[in-house]
């Protein structure tokens, strides 16, 4: 069992109409001039954005808006946000959207007080020491960014996607109204469900398998998403079902499911190259890769994959063959992904067979041109990465 | 499903030797003059206290000590602590111990900056607006006070025990080293296990039974304690087993298991009168009362008690009789309590049959002389309270 630190200070405000509390929350956490950051048109079309800005006006809180954050949020937008915040003297960042918008806010948060270029943090060249406070109104349960210490940004120059972790920009508050997710398309809902599960699974597939409390919580969360996600697709306007998915999303990435375990994160890192290169949805990319990763690494802790098959996927244990049980568990999750309309191979994801050159380029980037490994259950070298991409092709 | 707010900002530092980080943590959270508050002799005998004070000295942090906190911590000690803090200019409170010491610190935390008497808060006559920061080194997993927003204090004058809740005095940090719990006597370990389970069960037995995520986490935590607690009694120096109990204790009372549900808390309130009057261990008092409470109220949500029996206690469902299944679940938990050496009736707890007059006095106090009800699954009137005490007699 690994020592751990658990720190999840975000105040969650969960329920119908909670977005009406945003102004009070911003004031509570010291904001007086706000950047309202958002993505595409849905926050505008739904009227959410104008309700929030009307609330800020009524409360006498000054604000500027910056929309247009795209999935796999771009460094160029982060730089625009930093410029705008400095110019306008912004002291609080409000993300209205999903993980991309929150991640963009987090990057702006550490970029504004920093003299150098914000990419330095993602490139590992600098560490932040100051942050603007961030809050969010979550509209897409998936990334868990509303309670996590991480952000992922794509550098427009070369499509390189990098993550960064710090407690400094964790959201001060996260407003979660499940009704705001009623109109999410099935595809996005399904991608979110995969991402939620993977945040727990990246921590679950570990060599430290003696943390019973963490396992119980992880397996409970995974079973809940397995049960709830297909029902949400069938009943997209169910408050109770949308609530489960939303809350499971936060709990899967606030550290709770990793207490005492060593996270693996190889699938996430392999996927970052995939969505960096092909601009596909992160959740779909994870679904396309996970089975191949699992088959490649399961020998490192077969009993863990057996446990997952039995406790999470409900597979009947074949006591003569751990391999067969593990394989049945992997197949069962792939079947589940398919049932949500998710791809389980790269060609299903991108619509074509990717080339050897593309695989080589992704493995190059993911391994820092052969200088780094990823994963902890099994440390993957550059050639392991190529093998997994090829298996998933 | 109820709207909810979830806020658990305590930084948990979990692992072997983590008590050596106390000085750094105090500094991080702004402490320069510390009250080191503790209970009886075990923190002294084990050398823990002198290691902590030596660490403070080495770090150049001034401190005063105040020992002697007893189980069911007393208002008189809280008042002494408040006086000492004012006299010495203390700006940080460090609890070294279990729930009693932490609760005493929490009471001191809001008492120091308050002009009136600290009991005002517990008596519902005033609300705190300022707090000294609190941190803790946990030595007894039970109360969950290390991450909770609550404290319970006994007024020496009349033995009245009252709780108070506020985010203001939540611990800034909680240092948890499972090795510090190796020498806990079996009785205290068992009382702790009961208390831990009851913190989840008070939230689980609710009329709001559509929160699948919360149920999954609650049932997972309960099953873990059921599995781990007897093993801890058999192997008191097992790091992994002690860890499970310790971490389960924090997660059972930091709000996580109550997201979306209405807490009941009747058993806790009935028990407060019992331990207020007889000065018995809180966990043992809960074990003595719970079965009677459960049998008295189960008709209010029989399917919940059936679910508990099947999902938590592993009882085989009798599809013809929900009552029989529910009863089997209650009996199974009482058997479990017995297996830990816990009482399941008041006479087993106190060693004698309590009198009608004593029952009447407890029901009087618990109901504010007939002016208040307790519980939410079933609102218990004064006469309901008498009935439950009598059933448990």
Given CB atoms, is B243 within the 8 Å cutoff of chain A?
yes
The dihedrals phi and psi of B57, each to the nearest 5 degrees, come to -60, -45
Considering all CA atoms of chain A, what is the largest pairwise distance in Å, rounded to the nearest integer?
Answer: 69
Which residue does chain A place closest to B256, by CA atoms?
Answer: A251
Q: What is the pLDDT of residues B64-120, one digit of tens each?
A: 999 999 998 999 999 999 999 999 999 999 999 999 999 999 999 999 999 999 999
Considering all CA atoms of chain B, what is the largest pairwise distance in Å, rounded to the nearest integer?
Answer: 69
| Residue A303 scores a pLDDT above 90 | yes
- Reported as a pLDDT band with limits 50, 70 and 90, residue A312 is very high
Determine whether A355 is exposed, middle or buried from the number of CB atoms within 10 Å of its CB (0-12, 13-18, 19+).
exposed
- Rounded Cα distance between B91 and B63, Å, is 10
Q: Which residues fall within 8 angstroms of residue B71, CB to CB, at 6 or more apart?
A: B100, B279, B281, B282
* Domains of chain A, earliest start first: 11-180 (3.40.50.1970), 185-392 (1.20.1090.10)
| Residue B245 C-alpha, separation from nearest chain A C-alpha, in angstroms | 8
| Residue B284 scores a pLDDT above 90 | yes
| Residue A41 scores a pLDDT above 90 | no
* H-state helical runs in chain A: 22-28, 42-45, 48-58, 75-88, 99-111, 119-122, 186-204, 212-234, 239-251, 266-278, 282-297, 302-307, 322-339, 346-350, 356-366, 382-392
- Mean pLDDT of the A325-340 span: 98
- Rounded Cα distance between B164 and B107, Å, is 9
| Residue B264 scores a pLDDT above 80 | yes
- Rounded Cα distance between A192 and A248, Å, is 11
Q: Which of residues 145-164 of A touch B (CB under 8 A)?
A: none
- The answer to whether the Cβ–Cβ distance between A4 and B14 falls below 8 Å is yes
Closest alpha carbon to A266 in A360, A354, A367, A194: A367
Distance, first Cα to last Cα, chain A: 36
- Reported as a pLDDT band with limits 50, 70 and 90, residue B42 is confident
Interface test with A, best of B217, B224, B311 (most A CBs within 10 A): B217
- Reported as a pLDDT band with limits 50, 70 and 90, residue A279 is confident
Q: From the list A9, A18, A212, which residue is nearest B224 (CB)? A: A212
8 A C-beta contact, residue B118 and residue B169: no
- The answer to whether the Cβ–Cβ distance between A4 and B16 falls below 8 Å is no
A239 compared with B41, residue with greater pLDDT: A239
Closest alpha carbon to B313 in B206, B225, B208, B186: B225
- The answer to whether the Cβ–Cβ distance between A15 and B7 falls below 8 Å is no
Given CB atoms, is A171 within the 8 Å cutoff of chain B?
no
- The answer to whether the Cβ–Cβ distance between B11 and A5 falls below 8 Å is yes
> Which chain B residues are Cβ-neighbours of A251 within 8 angstroms?
213, 217, 256
Given CB atoms, is B219 within the 8 Å cutoff of chain A?
yes
Closest alpha carbon to A107 in A180, A35, A52, A195: A35
> Which chain A residues are Cβ-neighbours of B11 within 8 angstroms?
5-7, 9
- Rounded Cα distance between B266 and B379, Å, is 8
Element of type H or E holding A92: strand A92-97
- Reported as a pLDDT band with limits 50, 70 and 90, residue B161 is confident
Given CB atoms, is A217 within the 8 Å cutoff of chain B?
yes
| Residue A47 C-alpha, separation from nearest chain B C-alpha, in angstroms | 22
> Which chain B residues are Cβ-neighbours of A6 within 8 angstroms?
11-12, 14
DSSP 8-state class, residue B18: G
Closest alpha carbon to A257 in B246, B245, B220, B174: B220
> Which chain B residues are Cβ-neighbours of A239 within 8 angstroms?
1
> Which chain B residues are Cβ-neighbours of A7 within 8 angstroms?
9, 11-12
> Which chain A residues are Cβ-neighbours of B260 within 8 angstroms?
14, 243, 247
What is the per-residue pLDDT for B1?
85
| Residue A159 scores a pLDDT above 80 | no
CA distance to A267, A287, A373, per residue, from A330 (Å): 14, 11, 24
What is the per-residue pLDDT for B110?
98
Given CB atoms, is B235 within the 8 Å cutoff of chain A?
no
Q: What crossing angle do the helices spanning B356-366 and B266-278 adopt, rounded to 10°? A: 130
- The answer to whether the Cβ–Cβ distance between A212 and B219 falls below 8 Å is no
What is the per-residue pLDDT for B208?
84
Q: Which of residues 56-95 of B touch A (CB under 8 A)?
A: none
Strand partners, A163: A152
pLDDT, averaged across chain A: 96
Given CB atoms, is B14 within the 8 Å cutoff of chain A?
yes
Interface test with B, best of A135, A212, A240 (most B CBs within 10 A): A212
Chain A to chain B Cβ contacts (< 8 Å): 111
| Residue B4 scores a pLDDT above 80 | yes
Report how far Cα A321 is from the mean position of its chain's Cα atoms.
34
For chain A, the residue count is: 393
What is the per-residue pLDDT for B276?
84
Given CB atoms, is A193 within the 8 Å cutoff of chain B?
no
| Residue A47 scores a pLDDT above 80 | yes
> Which chain B residues are Cβ-neighbours of A8 within 8 angstroms?
8-9
| Residue B154 scores a pLDDT above 80 | yes
- Reported as a pLDDT band with limits 50, 70 and 90, residue B171 is very high
- Rounded Cα distance between B202 and B224, Å, is 17
| Residue A359 C-alpha, separation from nearest chain B C-alpha, in angstroms | 39
- Helix-then-strand count for chain B, H and E: 16, 8
| Residue A304 scores a pLDDT above 80 | yes
Given CB atoms, is A246 within the 8 Å cutoff of chain B?
no
- Mean pLDDT of the A32-36 span: 98
- Rounded Cα distance between A214 and B365, Å, is 40
Which residue does chain B place closest to A14, by CA atoms?
Answer: B4
Instruction: Tell me the torsion sign for CA atoms A25, A26, A28, A29.
Output: positive
Residue-wise DSSP of A34-78:
EEEEE-SSHHHHTSHHHHHHHHHHHTT-EEEEE----SS-BHHHH
Give the SS3 label for residue B321.
coil
- Mean pLDDT of the A148-173 span: 93
> Which chain A residues are Cβ-neighbours of B6 within 8 angstroms?
11-12, 14
Q: From the list A9, A210, A251, which residue is nearest B213 (CB)? A: A251
- Mean pLDDT of the B145-155 span: 96
Q: From the list B6, B12, B15, which residue is nearest A7 (CB)? A: B12
- Mean pLDDT of the A281-306 span: 97
What is the per-residue pLDDT for A276?
84
8 A C-beta contact, residue A170 and residue A148: yes
A300 compared with A159, residue with greater pLDDT: A300
| Residue B222 C-alpha, separation from nearest chain A C-alpha, in angstroms | 9
> Which chain A residues are Cβ-neighbours of B8 within 8 angstroms?
8-9
Residue-wise DSSP of B102-162:
HHHHHHHHHHTT-SS-THHHHTTS--------EEEEE---SS-TTT-SEEEEEETTTTEEE
- Rounded Cα distance between A32 and B32, Å, is 31
- Mean pLDDT of the A19-25 span: 97
């Amino acid at each position: 069992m690994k020592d751990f630190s658990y720190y999840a200070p975000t105040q969650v405000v969960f329920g119908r109409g909670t977005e009406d509390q945003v102004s009070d929350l911003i004031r509570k956490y010291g904001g007086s001039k706000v950047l309202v950051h958002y993505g595409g048109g849905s926050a505008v079309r739904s009227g959410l954005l104008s309700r929030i800005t009307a609330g800020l006006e009524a409360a006498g809180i000054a604000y500027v808006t910056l929309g247009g954050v795209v999935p796999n949020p771009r460094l160029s937008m982060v730089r625009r946000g930093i410029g705008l915040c400095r110019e306008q003297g912004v002291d609080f960042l409000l993300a209205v959207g999903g993980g991309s918008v929150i991640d963009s806010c987090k990057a702006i948060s550490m970029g504004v007080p920093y003299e150098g270029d914000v990419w330095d943090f993602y490139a590992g060249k600098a560490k932040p020491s100051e942050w603007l406070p961030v809050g969010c109104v979550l509209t897409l349960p998936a990334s868990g960014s509303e309670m996590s210490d991480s952000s992922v940004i794509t550098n427009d120059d070369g499509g390189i996607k990098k993550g960064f972790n710090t407690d400094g920009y964790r959201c001060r508050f996260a407003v979660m109204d499940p009704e705001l997710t009623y109109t999410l398309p099935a595809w996005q809902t399904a991608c979110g469900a995969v991402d939620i599960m993977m945040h727990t699974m990246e921590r679950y597939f570990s060599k430290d398998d003696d943390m019973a409390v963490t396992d119980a919580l992880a397996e409970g969360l995974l079973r809940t998403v397995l049960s709830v996600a297909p029902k949400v697709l069938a009943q997209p306007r169910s408050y109770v079902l949308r609530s489960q998915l939303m809350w499971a999303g936060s709990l899967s990435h606030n550290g709770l499911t990793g207490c005492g375990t060593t996270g693996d994160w190889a699938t996430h890192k392999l996927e970052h190259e995939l969505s960096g290169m092909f601009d596909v949805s992160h959740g779909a990319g994870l679904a396309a890769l996970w089975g191949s990763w699992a088959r490649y690494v399961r020998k490192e802790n077969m009993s863990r994959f057996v446990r997952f098959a039995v406790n999470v996927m409900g597979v009947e244990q074949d006591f003569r063959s751990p391999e067969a049980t593990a394989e049945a568990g992997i197949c069962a999750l792939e079947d589940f992904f398919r049932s949500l309309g998710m791809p389980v191979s790269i060609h299903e994801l991108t619509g074509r067979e990717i080339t050897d050159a593309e695989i080589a380029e992704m493995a190059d980037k993911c391994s820092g041109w052969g200088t780094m490994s990823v994963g902890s259950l099994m440390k993957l070298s550059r050639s392991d990465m190529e093998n997994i991409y090829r298996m998933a092709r």
